[in-house]
Amino acid sequence: MRSALVLVLVLVLALACASNDRCQDVTNEMCAGQPYSRARMPNILNHTTVDMAALEAHQFAPLVKVRCSPSLTSFVCLLYFPPCTVLDAATPPCRELCQAARDDCEPLMTKFGFRWPFSCEQFPALLQYSERLQRMQEQSLQMEQRTLRLEQRKLRLEIELLQRQLRSG
């Protein structure tokens, strides 16, 4: 019985650690004002750490500084430091956010010989994004239900263990 309890505890810890391994603290100053503080890695650009992502995201710092677009900071942060969720992969920014940042900043970039580095069509449209968020909420609910079932099992095992200990002595 004790081994069953240990097995349940190991499973609970493994689930917690598995999700934490994919989430890292966002330390990038550019993204300090975002409504989240943990990023899901790897991101869709295949950066495996926030430090790697920060090196590449830094190229947008001058554009953010001159405020060429009110959408740029959110776009860059969502792209390089996607919020940590229960999904198996990072959620990209939506197409419309990319287009807004591009449309605002590309004229300035063009003056200095640069082009917008992303094809906004590669990102999901807002409607697809909403559907993905709905799936994420459903998956989150399922995970919560699984966690509750594990907690219930754990408590039952602990009660059984305590009862056995009381009986034996």
Query: Where do the domains of the chain lie, and which CATH numbers do they carry?
Result: 2-168 (1.10.2000.10)
Give the residue with greater pLDDT, 99 vs 131: 99
Of 124, 129, 33, which Cα lies nearest the Cα of 81?
A: 33
Q: What is the pLDDT of residues 112-165, one digit of tens each?
A: 999 999 999 999 998 766 676 677 777 777 877 888 788 888 878 888 887 888
Provide the H-helix boundaries in 26-168. Answer: 50-57, 61-66, 72-80, 95-111, 126-168
Q: What is the pLDDT of residues 140-152, one digit of tens each?
A: 778 778 887 888 8
Predicted TM-score (pTM) of the model is 0.66
pLDDT at 7: 31
pLDDT at 5: 32
pLDDT at 130: 65
Q: What is the pLDDT of residues 28-37, one digit of tens each?
A: 999 999 999 9
User: Is the model's pLDDT at 106 over the cut of 60?
Assistant: yes
pLDDT at 9: 30
Tokens of 23: 């989430």
Q: What is the pLDDT of residues 53-91, one digit of tens each?
A: 999 999 999 999 999 999 999 999 999 999 998 777 888
**d(Cα 27, Cα 45) in Å, to the nearest integer?**
18
pLDDT at 70: 96
In sequence order, the 6+-apart residues with CB closer than 8 A to the CB of 80 are 28, 43, 45, 47, 53, 54, 56, 57
